[in-house]
Structure 1
């Protein structure tokens, strides 16, 4: 399922809750610091390792949280005034509202990401909200078996599980995503968790939650399938997935601006 909220949704869910992992999973200590809620999705304020305090801050979410994009569509530097509710602490208390000036980058081709540039720098947000800190973006590939937490700002819920493995190609309807993260079953993410950061034991964002197979369908909307390098198709009903982000900081240059011509940048253009 592409996990944004679409239309009416049952809301009998706990707020500020934690969806626990099985006993074999290591319990991490992520909270809602740096997490945001969108109108239909989740997200986070993220900081590439090379960013400065004086750079405009970035909010990371899914491409499909902007809209259901074409299979090869890429959005660059599109004006936006979208707002985000900034959360904090163990219970996801609201600190205030952040506002975008543009969509710096968004796509559903090869991956499923969006980055909004805000109208304030990291330092200015910190000045407004002393408890704020952004999530640092990882620059190394996630590790199989690693304990992770998926932090949803929309539902104020934290899911704990492990990285079960990686998918050569994840296909859903017209979209194909490469080298996706597959969760163990404890991360039973739902609509509204789209765009949630996946946080590892270092406290860094290593991936971004985006979909899962709801009904056991084969490569259809709401029912992604796994395709191996040899073309074998596997369907895992009830299992959910995320898209890696370790390669994205290489595409972000001076002033937190996306530059797809930078060395090492592999994002679709």
Structure 2
């Protein structure tokens, strides 16, 4: 492995990648066929694979997945160069200029007292750059709803629209829980699903807000619970199979025995 502290070796490696990309685009039938549009869904998939590796804290896999994403970035830049729109140098220089603009406390005279002030400056500068009418205009429409809620709340906080104390946020959670329970009272014969859905959405939004306020990433928290459930359920399946049982034919009480065993692992 090359010395990770050697700038020259890193630049040489990047130059090698650019050369390989040129060769693949010219000589490989699959690579020649790709477009910005055709690569889009593959890039999304690679991003999720990186996310999995990060959650598993697998540094070797993280390295590989970062390489895959870097390949996509270089690929997009190569296509951009063919269209005479931009090349890899343009992409990198544009990024460098943006980082300098958005860190005036490093590259300018702006004074900041903490991390929160840095984030607020970032959002204000970003708003000026993009010329958005709304602070929330930069939130991608296609983001998953949970992540979108996080970004909406972060952007609102970036311009000072936020709760002051965490107990205020928790009171909002309790208020939304009460409203949801009233709308979705299990003793009612008839339930207005539309209203119940709206109240449940409000409850989720307030919970995400509270998680953000106490510095818990709700997306990561939920995914950890997903993985924990999968692990325990697969233990249940394997234990039942070892006992010669079919899980679909077992009672809930019988499955709970294995489930409790899985929780102890």
Shorter-normalised TM-score: what interval?
A: under 0.3
Structure showing the higher helix proportion among its residues: 2
Normalising by structure 1, report the TM-score.
0.22
